[in-house]
């Protein structure tokens, strides 16, 4: 098995202890990438960050519009 993010080989004998999956899309991750990215692959984590930024920008624009009224 290979980690989707870093490409590190996950040996079958260690898979029980070292194989993790992205909580969003299910791709295989090594323990280090799983922990580093809080349970998500880089792609899903990036999507989450983009969504949060969009939500923050929307909230700021809504507050500005409310102040203008």
Amino acid 66: pLDDT: 85
Q: Which residues, including other chains, have CB under 8 Å from residue 52's CB and lie 6 or more apart?
A: none
Q: What distances in angstroms separate CA 10 from CA 5, 58, 62, one per listed residue?
A: 12, 41, 47
Amino acid 46: pLDDT: 96
Sign of the Cα torsion 62, 63, 65, 69 reads: positive
Q: What is the pLDDT of residues 5-62, one digit of tens each?
A: 999 988 766 555 656 899 999 999 998 999 999 999 999 999 999 999 999 999 999 9
What are 60's two structure tokens?
């700021």
Model confidence, pTM: 0.73
């Amino acid at each position: 098995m290979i980690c989707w993010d870093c490409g590190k080989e996950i040996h079958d004998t260690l898979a029980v202890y070292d194989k993790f999956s992205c909580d969003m899309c299910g791709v295989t991750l090594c323990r280090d990438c799983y922990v580093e990215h809080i349970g998500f692959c880089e792609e899903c984590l990036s999507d989450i960050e983009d969504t949060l930024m969009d939500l923050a920008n929307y909230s700021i624009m809504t507050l500005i519009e409310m102040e203008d009224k």
